[in-house]
Amino acid sequence: MIKTDALIIGAGPTGLFTAHQLKLIGLNCEIVDNLDKIGGQCIELYPDKPIYDIPAIPECTGEELTNNLINQLKPFDIKFHLSERVEEVKKNNENWEVKTNKGTEFSTSNIIIAGGVGSFEPRKFSPKECEKFENKSIFYLIKDKSIFKGKTLSIFGGGDSALDWAIELSKDSKVNLIHRRDEFRGTQTTVDKMNDLAKNGKINLFTKYQLKSANGKENLESIDVEHDNKEVKNLKTDYVLGFFGLIMQLGPIANWGLNLDKKHIPVNTENFETNQKGIFAIGDICTYPGKLKLILSGFHEGALAARGCFKYARPDEKLRFEFSTTSKSVHSRLGLKKND
């Protein structure tokens, strides 16, 4: 069981800056994120898109912002638990006990939910029968590509994941690539490569088609795909792969006893605490009158939530307000040399 003063759920910009604020006031923290990388929506949804409304940064991309926030955390040794999703949150006396899907356990006086609009999950096929084939013959991510060798695969999607896998798997498998329109949003070189393979008969390309049904009793036998003009084709297939990007799902957060307003968590604006003592919510996931879903608002909310954590983590101490320009204790936490 890992003991920490505050557990931050979400490694997006809000979670990262909040870690910095916690460390400046002398609290420890660890960060859990369901994605395999740091940066949250900034890195998953718009790494290359410029952001123009971060104070004092005229323009930066989601990736640059993330890298700057990681650099800002360098003086501190913060443990990240990536590719882990928090499943359970339970009260144990004064502390919260938290467990992830990988079995990591934490005991903490404070939880700060900086989870965007929940965790990123793959978007799935809409026909209901697809569920029963999921993880048997229908996949949304590939763990072991060797199972596809010599088989017939139907790959759906128009982005880089779908194209990259279609190209890669066409070496050893019969590949159908199916997309709802005839433009692909993948990078041009990848699209060109796929088109070459399609021309040479290595990939069977079906554009303007979507999945209509998945057929088979126990095992998947074939799929029906429907053209924009309603024409239906039956394709014999062993496996179906769907790459429709990631969507945000609130997930287990809904089970932690928090008040919810649609997919958001209501908080007070004094320290962004929820209806549960010691659980704070900041960034896109929180709501209060006047809430703006801006990164800068997340920074502000994190600064106040960090101070809100102090009284539970250090009940016998008094938090003094200090400026980073002048405070000796802040300087020592930042590892700065003493010049005076």
Binding segment toward another protein, per CB under 8 A, in 156-164, 268-276, 298-306, 312-320 = 156-164
Q: Where are the alpha helices (DSSP H) in the chain?
A: 13-24, 41-44, 62-72, 130-133, 160-169, 188-199, 295-313, 328-333
* Of the residues 53, 129, 172, 228, which one makes contact with another protein according to CB under 8 A: 228
- Rounded to a whole number of angstroms, the minimum distance from the CB of residue 232 to another protein is 16
CB of 174 vs another protein, minimal distance in Å: 24
Nearest residue (CB) to another protein, 157 versus 308: 157
Q: Does 183 bind another protein (CB under 8 A)?
A: yes
137 scored as a contact of another protein (CB under 8 A):
no
Stretch near another protein under the rule CB under 8 A, chosen from 9-17, 73-81, 147-155, 181-189: 181-189
3 state SS of 292: coil
Q: Return the residue of 248, 253, 281, 303 that touches another protein, per CB under 8 A.
A: 248
Q: Which residue stretch of 215-223, 242-250, 271-279, 297-305 sits at the interface with another protein (rule: CB under 8 A)?
A: 242-250
Beta-carbon contacts of residue 67 (< 8 Å; ≥ 6 apart): none
Report the Cα 69 to chain-centroid distance in Å: 17
CB of 141 to another protein, least distance (A): 15
Please identify, among the stretches 16-24, 151-159, 269-277, 315-323, the one whose residues bind another protein according to the rule CB under 8 A. 151-159
Q: Identify the bridge partners of residue 113 per DSSP, sorted by sequence position.
A: 9, 281
Asked if residue 202 binds another protein (CB under 8 A), the reply is: no
For 14, phi and psi rounded to 5 degrees?
-65, -45
State in angstroms the smallest separation of the CB of 261 from another protein.
11
The tokens describing 195, both together, are: 């088109």
What the block records as the tokens of 173 is 């498998």
272 by DSSP, 3-state: which?
coil
Contact 329, 296 (CB under 8 A): no
Interaction of residue 233 with another protein, rule CB under 8 A: no
CA quadruple 229, 234, 239, 243: dihedral, nearest 10: 0
Alpha carbon distance 119, 97 (integer Å)? 20
- Per the CB < 8 A criterion, the answer to whether 106 and 30 are in contact is yes
Q: Does 190 bind another protein (CB under 8 A)?
A: no
Residue number with CB closer to another protein (91 or 212): 212
Write out the binding residues for another protein, residues 24-83 only, by CB under 8 A: 41, 45-46
- Number of residues near another protein (by CB under 8 A): 24
Instruction: Judge residue 137's burial from the number of C-beta atoms within 10 Å of its C-beta, 0-12 exposed, 13-18 middle, 19 or more buried.
Output: buried
Question: With the CA atoms of 246, 168, 184 and 67 taken in that order, what torsion angle do they form, in degrees rounded to the nearest 10?
Answer: 50
- How far is it, in rounded angstroms, from Cα 90 to Cα 81? 19
Residues 286-325 that bind another protein (CB under 8 A): 293
Nearer to another protein, 118 or 278 (CB): 118
213 binds another protein (CB under 8 A): no
- With tokens 């079995």, the residue in question is 103
Q: Does 273 bind another protein (CB under 8 A)?
A: no
State in angstroms the smallest separation of the CB of 165 from another protein: 16
**CB–CB of 178/209 below 8 Å?**
yes
Among 47, 75, 245, 266, contact with another protein (rule: CB under 8 A): 245
The residues of the shown chain that bind another protein, judged by CB under 8 A, are 41, 45-46, 117, 123, 126, 157-159, 179-181, 183, 185, 210, 228, 244-245, 247-249, 263, 284, 293
